[in-house]
Amino acid sequence: MTSAYVLIKIKAGKIRDVLKQLRKIQEIRHLDPVTGPYDIIGFVEAPDLATLGKLVLDKIQAIEGIEDTLTCNVITFEV
């Protein structure tokens, strides 16, 4: 399983519409509206990196009102 945080920048006045659409995507496990350069941070899970890429490109970035995304893949290691 691969997971990532997706930082999402949204056009002014569109956050409610975008949140409604994002909540329909089953791979998104959690969404938080935030302040700062991005408007929403989502936590997503996918079976592999290729599927994760398709999720971001085909499902998330395709939503009207989204201006930009930044995907931060989670890395796992033992300390």
**Predicted confidence (pLDDT) per residue in 50-79, tens digit:** 999 999 999 999 999 999 999 999 998 888
CA distance 45 to 79: 23
pLDDT score, position 77: 85
3-state secondary structure 30-66: EEEECCCCCCEEEEEEECCHHHHHHHHHHHHCCCCCE
The strand pair at 2-10 and 40-46 is best described as: antiparallel
Is residue 73 within a helix (H) or strand (E), and if so which, with residue range?
strand 66-73
Q: 6-73 — its CATH code?
A: 3.30.70.920
pLDDT in tens, 23-55: 999 999 999 999 999 999 999 999 999 999 999
Domain ranges of the chain: 6-73
- Integer CA distances (angstroms), 58 to 50, 52, 55, 76, in order: 12, 10, 6, 26
